Every structure is written in C-alpha cells, then in structure tokens.
Amino acid sequence: MKRRSNDFVLGAVILGAIVLIVGVSMFLRESEIGSKRQRVVARFSDVGQVQVGNAVVIRGVKAGRVEAIELGDDGWVLVRLNLEKSVELPRSPVVLLGASSLFGEWQAMVTERQSVPNNREVAAALTASATGAGTALPGAVLPDVAQLTTVAGGIAGDVASVAQRFQVAFNDSAARELRSSIRSVAQLSAELARTVRVQSKHLDTVSVDVRAGAADLSQAAEAFLRTVSRIDSATSAGEVRTIVSESERAAGQVREASVRLNQITQSLEKTESHLRGVMARADSVLLKVDQGQGTLGLLVNDPRLYQNTDSLLRELRALLADVKKQPKRYFGVKIF
C-alpha cells in the first residue's frame, strides 16, 4: 500500500514537471493555445541579426513575433511574421528590421512606405525587394548601432581634422590680421555713418525740390485740365468744326496754288528755253557783225561810210542854209 502511494506521487511529480516544461517552453516561444493568428511574409536581401522570436511592432505597439526565417530559391531571405488576428496592416506596408536596444536585441517594424526614414540605401533596398515580390511585403534593414557608431567616429575624425586645420590657420598673425580687419570695418562703418549723415542732408534738399516739383506739376495739371475744359467747350460750340473746315478749304487753296505754281514753273522753263535760243541767234548775228559779214557788218566795220556820211551831213546843212538865204533860187512861185 505504501509502495503504491509512492508510485502515485512519483508519477504526479513527473507529470507536473512535464507540464511545467511545456508551459515554460510555450511561454518562452509566446505560444497561445486556441487563439487565431495571421501570418505575413516579408522579403529581404539581408536580415542582419534578426532571430526567430524577435518582436514585431506596428506603430510602436507589439503585434506579434518573427516565426521563421528562410532562404528562398531566388536568393532572397523570406521572414514569416506571426501577427495577431485583430491587427490591421497600414497602407502600403513595408517591414524594417533594426535594433530595438543597445544590448543587441532586434525587432521587425511594419510601417507605411511614406513613413520610411529618408535614407538612400533603405529606399534602394525597399525598391529592389518590391520587384517581383508577389504577395510578400518589401523589407529593408535599418543601420544598426555599430554602423551609426562607425559613422559617428568618422564624423568625429573629420571634425578633429577640421579643428586641427582651423588651429593651424588661426595663429597669431591671423589674429593680428583679424584685429586689423575689425579696425578697418570700424573705420568703414564710421565713414559710412558720416556719408549717411551728409547724404541725409542732400536728401532733405532733394525732398524739398521734389515737393516744389510736385507743386509745379500739380499747377501744370490744373492748367492742362483748364485747357481741356476749354477745348471741350469749344468743341461743344462748334468752333473746332469750323476751324477744321476752314483748314480744309485753306489746304485746298494751297493745293490749287501749288498746281498753278507748277504750271508757271513749266511755262518759265519753256520761256527760258526760247530765250536761250534767241540769245544764241543774237550772239551769232553779233558775231557776224563784228567779223564784218553782211551789210550791217560792213556798215559797222567800214570807217569810210562814217566819213562819207559826215561829209554828206555837212553838205546837207550848207544846202539848207543856202535854201533859207535864197529860196527863190530853188523855188519858183507864180501867182495867177
């Protein structure tokens, strides 16, 4: 009887140990008995340090875990995510793998494509994994702490190099030159202030002139308005129309006078041509007379004609004197 009770206790202990081991195993694997789950597959070119059992986060809330990591036939790595049934995936979902703490723990984060960090390598990895992925979600690996530390170390080295170069460049002579430059800038500022004061006085004078010019312009505008009003009144009274008609008649008379003047000019041209012909003929006649040709030429050029004419006139005068003295010698008067 005692031995049978010991066997029962031993069996109960063994059964309890088995139940405890199974429960601990299910706890560690986060298994849920009787609950419904949804499974999502993501496609990566590299998964970094992600392991099975790592958490899956959506909008900062744990929504599942990494169920399996497999190497596909096309060289891509397929990661199966076990999510809760009630979880709704975001629009245009992508999966990003990255470190969740400084102790080497990683997680898978499901987010929208528009919320991906602005990183060229991450964007290129998502574009490549989305090509030919089918129903699988595109995925990429975020830079981990080691990479960030390396980049930060490189940046620190560059900063140290720049600081060293700055220390070399900024020596005593550079400091003196900088002080000299500051003094020059101060002098330039003083000169500029003095120039501004002088120019402000000139600007005051110019402003006075501008105001005077504006007043003159206003007076000119008023005079122009008065002139326009006078023109308007003259137009309404019909004076402008009368002036225009008189101008048209004057223009017609000027055109007629121009036509007559043109005719007179043509007549003068004809008269001038006739006068040139007459002058040419007269010149020819006078040339012949001068050369002694013809009767008139002989009369003009022969001195004997002048002498004979002179003697004839003397004889004629003597004859007339004799007739006056003795008329009876030449005239006989008979009275019946």
Q: What is the per-residue pLDDT for 282?
A: 74
Token pair of 199, please? Answer: 């120019």
What is the distance in angstroms between the CA of the first residue and the CA of the last residue of the chain?
Answer: 245
Q: Provide DSSP, 171-206.
A: SHHHHHHHHHHHHHHHHHHHHHHHHHHHHHHHHHHH
Q: What is the per-residue pLDDT for 155?
A: 66
- Rounded CA separation 191/182 (Å): 14
The three-point CA angle 46-52-53 to 5° equals 130
- Rounded CA separation 312/250 (Å): 71
User: How many Cα atoms within 13 Å fall on the side-chain side of residue 240?
Assistant: 9
- Rounded CA separation 131/41 (Å): 15
Token pair of 178, please? Answer: 């900088």
- Rounded CA separation 57/63 (Å): 6
Nearest Cα residue to 66 out of 85, 83, 44, 49: 83
pLDDT tens for each residue of the chain, 336 residues long:
555 666 667 777 787 888 788 776 666 555 555 456 788 889 998 888 888 889 899 988 888 889 998 888 788 989 999 888 888 888 889 999 888 777 778 889 899 988 888 888 888 888 888 888 788 889 998 876 545 554 555 566 666 676 666 565 556 676 677 777 787 777 877 888 788 777 777 777 777 777 877 888 888 888 888 887 776 666 555 666 777 778 788 888 888 888 888 888 888 888 878 878 778 777 777 777 677 676 666 666 666 766 777 787 888 888 788 878 877 776 665 554
Please state the domain extents for the chain.
35-144, 295-327
Q: What is the per-residue pLDDT for 159?
A: 65
Token pair of 60, please? Answer: 């900062």
Extract the runs of DSSP E, i.e. beta strands, from 45-190: 55-58, 61-71, 77-84, 93-99, 106-112, 137-141
The pTM of this model reads 0.37
**Cβ(129)–Cβ(86) below 8 Å:** no
Nearest Cα residue to 66 out of 42, 93, 101, 34: 42
Q: What is the per-residue pLDDT for 323?
A: 77
